[in-house]
Structure 1
Amino acid sequence: MVHQTIATKINPAPKASSKINNMCVCPCSKLTVIAVHKPLAGAWRSVSRWLLPCFLAACASQVPLPSPAPAPASSAPVAPLSIPTITAKPAPTVTELPLATVPDKRSRLVAVEWRDLPGWDKESMPEVWSVLLGNCERPSGSLAALCPQVRRLTLASDEEQKQWLMQTLQPHRIESLEGEADGLLTGYYEPVLEARKIPGNGFSVPLYRPPAGLKTGQPWFTRQEIESTQTAQAALHGREIAWLADPIDAMVLHIQGSGRLRITDSDGRIRTVRVGFAASNEQPYQSIGRWLLDKGEVKDASWAGIKAWLQRNPQKAQALLWVNPRYVFFKEEPIIDPSIGPRGAQGLPLTPGRSVAIDPLSVTYGTPLWMVTPGPTQSLQRLVLAQDTGSAIVGAVRADLYMGTGAAAGELAGRMKQPLRLWALLPKTP
């Protein structure tokens, strides 16, 4: 699930450090500085399927996660809020990932003590163990060796599980190369859209499979060219998966990278399928929300704000969409279990409130991260996993939190733009 994000505020997004001087994070003492981020080359194997139901909660499209606990006494209190969510289960197959390449020098790690992680003592081990077990579906590198112990400790007490994590993993504060530990958190989700198998009755916006001959890394036609030139349209003829009614909904799907379609077939039957990211035209992403803000057209660049602007300016709709030259092609995927989220770039189903998209040149896929973010949309102190990426997610302390499926998750994701700090939890070296 490769996605982008749009701007949601009137001014260009500042460095988050300018906004979080009062962030409720305990000060961290520098013990060791690692200038180059050594990769974690993946995650761990899953527990047997007969064991997982004991630990995974019953799934629903929007089930609030338990509220995070306040920070320790040395920090300002953080008001708990819940995330509407579904609980994702591990993928049905086990696949070994190749060793990851060394990330670029976009971040550095500073070893700290566990007591320096705000809220760690209040974390819910049942939730943590569920996502760790799921992460073991695609193990590799140093974390793969820990998966047998993760499975053996499934029936252990919360205290035993937490003690094992603290004895086995070393927390490291993630910083930019300039030593900046403050960053930015946004949110994304899986939309659910009405679609038709054949065009007509207002459904005229196609979703395409990749065209024949499309090459990774080689720019193809821009969005404007795809929608207006005969050459591009001829290359895509017969590649339609389904048709949507609203071009903005199609843009949302392109940006989120994955979604569910309620497709009405030609015989009137309705089926729900998932479409996932298959490829892009390799053109740069440009935010239409940022464009509207820069032009002074809107003060609210959320999807709701953009749709309201389009209702007032329908004649400008196509010009607005053409601001973003990037175009995404999809692949159709069956939904075997509606409770399971879309697959992220790591190849595993995303878990609402526990999966984040990161810059893979700063953080390796599968890395357990301790995340702290103070409101206004969500105040959270919890363990998350680096399982996805997005073209707008760039930098050392930068993450996009997966919120779940459907309209409620989308509303929450659209408002998420707030300060962030991250700690990588890495296996201790002998």
Structure 2
Amino acid sequence: MVKVLLQYVSTVVLALGLVGCDWWNTPPKPQTPPEPKVVTWADLPGWEQDAHEQAWPALLNNCQAMLKKNELAWVTICQQAQGMSPDRATAKAFFEQHFQPEQLVSTEGKTTGFMTGYYEPVLMASYTPDERFKYPIYKTPADLLTIDLGSLYPELQNKRVRGRLEGNRVIPYYDRAVIEGTTKPLAGNEILWTDKQDDVFFLHIQGSGRAQLPDGSIVGVGYDNQNGHKYLPIGKVLIERKLIEREHTNMFTIREWLNTHPDQAEEILNQNPSYVFFKLRTNVEAGPIGSLNVPLVAERSIAIDPKTIPLGSLLWVDSHYPDSKTLLQKLVFAQDTGGAITGELRADFFFGTGVQAEQWAGRMKQNTQFYRLIPR
């Protein structure tokens, strides 16, 4: 198996399109972004108004991961935080004592970025299919290969190629169109069946959710793996085809379009070749597990691009709630990632579970300034 993978590693890289056709050449020297701007606590918009103690559960979750990773800068912080149940003033003083704020600046020198939102949806589902429950949620299939090429090609560090064996060749894994098509190559890998196709699609985008079973019990489903194809937002496709107006595009208008155009929905959905595989989780109330491998906390966890902001970072965000003049200025922890969250000054704000969380997440697309709080 190892020989086969090595023999065809170049084929895999080229086939999956994770690097350009001149990947073997010396890459151009990247442009060095400006140094973050060191600021004072008084420079953080809304710092005095936040309920700092409400960030404590996310801090304790963060410490689980940072201590396991032996992040020395966090050791003292986490050791002191473990035994505390602070009020607002004490929590605020703790953060001010242990961290130094700096404003993040893009390579082009910009200080304003962009923040969307996500949430934990609740689906109706069953362990067995019937006339109602006929849309599968799949677990990671056994034939999905994940190949880490970083040790061979430094420029591919942290990039994982996914594929499958066909004879003695490694080829790209099935895309969405094939997985959802008539051949059903993943039959037998179902962990749940839902009653709405678009619920499954949006579950893939959110990355985790809750499923209510026919007997009323609830189980959690969480991200486990992905087929290796690049994520393409179908909202962009609908805009480009002039099927939805750009200024009106959000999760709810996209869902409405899919429901009112069932004869075209599958073709539009398949424009996004990315496909997510899930696993069941029993501790539903603890919250979904993010990429940092700790539970996410509503309105205190965000997803980021780890190439620009390290996982586990503490940040201050200066933004607004969607469709509102209400300020969204909070301490948050970078505890998750997402296929659509790429580039500098970019984040996805986790709103939690429930109707209000869905409403906010579905409409969130706000200009945002980001401040990273560096351990002293």
TM-score range, shorter chain: 0.7 to 0.9
Aligned residue for 1:207? Answer: 137
Aligned residue for 2:232? Answer: 286
Deviation at 1:110, TM superposition (A): 1.9
Q: Name the TM-score, length of structure 1 as normaliser.
A: 0.69
Deviation at 1:133, TM superposition (A): 2.4
Which of 51, 71, 80 is the equivalent residue of 1:149?
A: 80
Partner SS for 1:330? strand
Task: Confirm or deny: 8 A CA contact 2:114 2:346 kept in the other structure.
Answer: yes
Task: Confirm or deny: 8 A CA contact 1:277 1:330 kept in the other structure.
Answer: yes
CA distance in 2 between counterparts of 1:415 and 1:322 reads 23
CA distance in 2 between counterparts of 1:138 and 1:330 reads 22
Aligned residue for 2:212? Answer: 262
Q: Structure 2: which amino acid aligns with 1:244? A: T
Which of 172, 177, 180 is the equivalent residue of 1:224?
A: 177
Task: Confirm or deny: 8 A CA contact 2:101 2:371 kept in the other structure.
Answer: yes
Aligned residue for 1:110? Answer: 37
Which of 118, 125, 140 is the equivalent residue of 2:52?
A: 125
Q: Which runs of 5+ in 2 are unaligned?
A: 1-30, 147-160, 163-171
Which of 183, 190, 214 is the equivalent residue of 1:240?
A: 190
For residues 23-73 of structure 1, give each alpha carbon's deviation from its aligned partner in whole angstroms, at most 9, with x where no partner exists.
Answer: xxxxxxxxxxxxxxxxxxxxxxxxxxxxxxxxxxxxxxxxxxxxxxxxxxx
CA distance in 2 between counterparts of 1:209 and 1:223 reads 14
Name the one with the larger helix percent.
2
Deviation at 1:157, TM superposition (A): 5.7
CA distance in 2 between counterparts of 1:308 and 1:113 reads 46
Task: Confirm or deny: 8 A CA contact 1:106 1:362 kept in the other structure.
Answer: no
Q: Structure 2: which amino acid aligns with 1:345? A: S
Q: Structure 2: which amino acid aligns with 1:226? A: I
Task: Confirm or deny: 8 A CA contact 2:314 2:334 kept in the other structure.
Answer: yes
Partner SS for 1:392? coil
What is the number of residues matched between the two proteins? 315
Change (3 A) 1:213 1:158: same
Which of 63, 76, 79 is the equivalent residue of 1:136?
A: 63
Partner SS for 2:351? strand
Aligned residue for 1:424? Answer: 372
Change (3 A) 1:130 1:198: closer
Identity in percent: 38
Partner SS for 2:290? coil
Pairing 1:166–2:93 present: no
Task: Confirm or deny: 8 A CA contact 1:105 1:362 kept in the other structure.
Answer: no
Which of 358, 371, 376 is the equivalent residue of 2:304?
A: 358
Aligned residue for 2:332? Answer: 384
Deviation at 1:131, TM superposition (A): 2.6
Deviation at 1:227, TM superposition (A): 2.1
Q: Structure 1: which amino acid aligns with 2:129? A: P
Change (3 A) 1:186 1:156: closer
CA distance in 2 between counterparts of 1:106 and 1:220 reads 35
CA distance in 1 between counterparts of 2:89 and 2:260 reads 57
Change (3 A) 1:205 1:147: same
Please give the root-mean-square deviation of Cα atoms over the aligned residues, in Å.
2.0
Pairing 1:183–2:129 present: no
Q: Which runs of 5+ in 1 are unaligned?
A: 1-103
What stretches of structure 1 move > 6 A for 4+ residues in a row?
104-107
Looking at both structures, which has the greater relative contact order when contacts are Cα pairs under 8 Å and sequence separation is at least 6?
Answer: 1
Q: Name the TM-score, length of structure 2 as normaliser.
A: 0.79
Aligned residue for 1:411? Answer: 359
Change (3 A) 1:309 1:107: farther
| TM alignment of 1:18-97, pairs within 5 A | none
Aligned residue for 1:58? Answer: none
Task: Confirm or deny: 8 A CA contact 1:106 1:396 kept in the other structure.
Answer: no
Which of 341, 365, 370 is the equivalent residue of 2:287?
A: 341
